[in-house]
Structure 1
Amino acid sequence: MESDWESLPEELLDLVFKRLVLHLDSLRFAAVCKSWYWVSKNKQIDSVPMLLIPDRQKDTWNLCDVTNDKVLKMQLRWMKKRFCGSSKGWLIVCDENFVVTLINPSFMVKGRKEKENFIIRLPPLNPPGQYRRSAHAKHCEYFVYKATISADPISNANDCIVAIIYEPRCELAFIRLGDNKWTYFDRTGYEIWSLYEDIAQIGDTSYVVSSSKSQLITFEYTT
């Protein structure tokens, strides 16, 4: 008879989590299943900066604890392509069909079989203007320059807005989780040759750094 780990009482899981000492053990705890993930997420522990380093094995990444200069014994599985963003504990990628995907690292832990809802595919990007889609498809991981989200897409789906800076001229696009298409920023009234270099999303408001005179511009997503 298989053990039903996901149905353990939250009070029991809370007692187990409180006794974890190493941050790596907390990560492993969160990777067991969805209910364990929520227990760890709700504890609001101080997060330790982590890096993903490609392993020699195919489609395998290693976690690196940068504060202790140590590669952790915890491997993640995903294709070896550039991540265009990380936010609220999620990774963001773009594929050859210009589909932006949100990935929770808990899904990537080697040995897990179920995907649950730790991977979310958004509608494909179809920005206005003329550009060579085939050329960008060959280097799809660079089509989205930077990406961020405003809230956790599972616990706060209604408040989750994905904001990206994309090619060919570092344009802006936004989408609220559940919408069927992206909203593309109209540059009318702004310096057309100004490039958007960085972006942070807080609620419905985007804070964007522009290359023009190092300006900080704010946008509010209202649709």
Structure 2
Amino acid sequence: MAVWSDLTNDVLEYITSFLTFPDRCRFGAVCKNWRFVSKSRRYPPIPQLPWLVLEEENETRKRKFYSLSDAKHYSIEIPELHGRYICGSSHGWLFAVDIKITGILINPFTREFFELPPFPPFCKDVDVNTLIEKVPSDYIEGPRDYTFEEMQTIIVSKAILSHDPKERSYFTAMIMFGQKNTPAFWRPGDACWTVVGGQQGSSYDIIYFKENFYVLSPGNVLYVVDFEPKPKLRVVGPQMVQSDVPEEYLVDFNGNLLLIERFCGLGGRNVITNGFNVIEPNLEENILYEWYDIDGYALFMGRNSSIYVNASHFPKCKKNGIYFTHITESMDACHDFGVYDMADEKISKFYSFEVFPPPVILPVWLTPNPW
């Protein structure tokens, strides 16, 4: 039998490409050389199941994660995330908002990050010591004024990236903010966010698909973002059926743009998820197709860029399953997440642990991207 310590780095690098992220971290803890090898990007790593980004632990201030592949929790010290609210994930990066209504874009495992300007409508640096105590209620929907602690958790509903910043230095970050989920974008070097005009009503979701950003609005109206000469939304695609569902998502699935509708029903005092519908709006043919399965794959829905994996590669992953995270629309705010089986149209649990309220923190899906 070969002595492992005698294996050359190129062989070790090839071996590590088959390891899951937790196992790769354990591999790197053996010695200095193996730690160096574990960070190699010479060979593309195997696909990874996404992790859930959970709450910050009160005592240690470590950020808590849940790995679906080995059904374990990991608490990781990430000082840059202390006191910040996670409002989105994309390409393995997290968007996090702090009390100053500013944010960072960070890779939690490499600790690389970008400072983001204050979110709209705050167009300049905010001094938390001189802030007014309240924010006008006409900016965020509700019968009362909001404190900046509350604004931290509701000002941005979703944030995504056009590209992985590790792969492409010139990228675009897009958010949906405020009462109407208005789209705005930022690029490295910009001093502030640029609001996209032309919105009719509010927005449900946003996606980067085939070199364009698309925005979904009520009535299933699909827009594309035109950046030149002035950023604005333009209606595209077929006329879709008016839907009366509380939540809709746009998904890039194997090069297909899908619309995922989430249906709800009463569960005690709460409104909870009881099913999904999958539609493909063909932008070239102006035709709608309904899907009854997703070819053995699994989708992961929530406040993250669309994620899909081949479930046959992961024994613990449900084929034709839609994994979702949400917060119920009710007086008793609580978590509503599970996995929907498109074959038998039933929902089961994939996470049986308590998620800490209050405040209710929405878990976010994140695909580890440390290499």
**What TM-score, normalized to structure 2?**
0.45
SS at match of 1:24: helix
Q: Which amino acid aligns with 1:90?
A: W
SS at match of 1:163: strand
Q: How many residues of Structure 1 are paired with residues of Structure 2 in the alignment?
A: 196
Query: Are the counterparts in 1 of residues 19 and 45 from structure 2 also a CA contact under 8 Å?
Result: no
Query: Are the counterparts in 2 of residues 76 and 105 from structure 1 also a CA contact under 8 Å?
Result: no
SS at match of 1:141: helix
How far has the Cα of 1:137 moved from its partner?
Answer: 2.3
Q: Which amino acid aligns with 1:51?
A: L
Query: Which range moved further: 59-68 or 162-171?
Result: 59-68
Q: Which amino acid aligns with 2:146?
A: A
Pairs within 5 Å for 1:1-223:
11=10, 14-15=13-14, 17-18=16-17, 21-26=19-24, 37=39, 39=41, 43-54=44-55, 55=57, 57-68=59-70, 70-73=71-74, 75-77=76-78, 78-79=81-82, 81-107=84-110, 118-127=112-121, 132=136, 135=146, 137-139=148-150, 140-158=152-170, 160-187=171-198, 190-191=199-200, 194-202=201-209, 205-211=212-218, 213-222=219-228
More helix by share: 1
Q: Which amino acid aligns with 1:196?
A: S
**What TM-score, normalized to structure 1?**
0.71
Give per-residue Cα distances to partners, 1:30-57, cap 9 Å, x unaligned: 99989954628x6142021211233453
Unaligned runs of 5+ in 2: 1-7, 124-134, 140-144, 232-371
Query: Are the counterparts in 1 of residues 185 and 195 from structure 2 also a CA contact under 8 Å?
Result: yes
Unaligned runs of 5+ in 1: 1-8, 108-114
Q: Structure 2 vs 1, CA of residues 92 and 155 (structure 1 numbering), >3 Å: closer, same or farther?
A: same
How far has the Cα of 1:136 moved from its partner?
Answer: 5.6
Percent of aligned pairs sharing the same letter: 22
Please tell me the root mean square deviation across aligned C-alpha atoms, in Å.
3.5
